[in-house]
Amino acid sequence: GENVEQHPSTLSVQEGDSAVIKCTYSDSASNYFPWYKQELGKRPQLIIDIRSNVGEKKDQRIAVTLNKTAKHFSLHITETQPEDSAVYFCAARSGGADGLTFGKGTHLIIQP
């Protein structure tokens, strides 16, 4: 089955700086890669996603890039703000399945 590795487990950046979180996946048949944000004690929420036929997608301060050859994808957050502090999970969908395989999460800390 699919295996998703996520790094780093904790990331601390100064407010206003950029943050990058990286994930790798094992199943070359995976074709959909979402990112979820989970604030403390709250439910995970989808923030951005990318499909395997696209190399990059942007939505305001966040962007996701995908390298199918290397089987890795990354989340980029620019001009970080205190409300960006949360745990971020990457995930991958294998083939035609509807379930997702999640990474272990990255705790992003924005230092004032």
Select the residue interacting with other proteins from 34, 62, 73, 110 (CB under 8 A): 34
108: left (phi over 0), alpha (psi -120 to 50) or beta: beta
Q: Which stretch binds other proteins (CB under 8 A): 13-21, 42-50, 55-63, 69-77?
A: 42-50
Residue 17 or 46 having the CB closest to other proteins: 46
Round the CA-based radius of gyration of the chain to a whole number and report it.
13
**Torsions phi, psi for 70 (to 5 deg):** -85, -10
104 binds other proteins (CB under 8 A): yes
How far lies 18's CA from each of 32, 81, 88, 107, 110, in Å? 24, 10, 15, 15, 10
Query: Which residues from 83-102 bind other proteins, rule CB under 8 A?
Result: 89, 91, 93, 97-102
| Cβ-Cβ contacts under 8 Å for 43 (sequence gap 6 or more) | none
Q: Which stretch binds other proteins (CB under 8 A): 13-21, 38-46, 62-70, 75-83?
A: 38-46
Q: How far is the CB of 31 from other proteins (least distance, A)?
A: 9
Q: How far is the CB of 84 from other proteins (least distance, A)?
A: 19
